[in-house]
Amino acid sequence: MTNEENGIEFEKITPEVYKFENVGDGITGVLLEKLENIGANNSRMYALETKTHGFCKIWGSTILDDRMSYIKVGDIVRVTYKGQEKNSKNQDVNLYEVEKGKKKFVEMSPEEVKKKAEKLDLTNTEFVEPTEEEKISG
């Protein structure tokens, strides 16, 4: 729903939580924010803007939080659910593949990132693993 005030069009923002349900499920978008201490378990969440899901958030996990530590706000990111495996304590853990797009929006205001994300065609974006330097700088 949109409305206009003083020549500015406004769109209501109602982000949903994206849920990975099946192996291969994935989401691609621009990382808008990293949130911490969310909910009863003080978990992390990641806010994204995507073409297919609009504004959405994904819950963190030990593995996902580790992978997302190499992604910076403004980066294009693709997160894919890879299934579960047992850890050393015989507990099921969710596995994720996190890829960073080569295009970056550096030194842009949140408004500029939003404008770029709206126009962004992610279908032809090439994804790469973070470099060692990027891993160290966070």
Q: pTM for this one?
A: 0.67
User: Which amino acid is located at 20 in the chain?
Assistant: F
Q: pLDDT tens across 85-132, in order?
A: 999 999 999 999 999 998 655 556 667 766 766 666 555 555 555 666
Lowest-confidence region among 19-28, 37-46, 54-63, 112-121: 112-121
Q: What is the DSSP string of 34-59?
A: EEEEETTTTEEEEEEEETTTEEEEEE
pLDDT, residue 106, reads: 52
Give the span between the Cα atoms of 125 and 46, in whole angstroms. Answer: 20
Contact (CB, 8 A) for 127 and 29: no
Classify domain 2-128 at the CATH class level: mainly beta
Q: What is the mean pLDDT of the chain?
A: 82
pLDDT, residue 100, reads: 94
Helices (H), the chain: 62-68, 110-119, 132-137
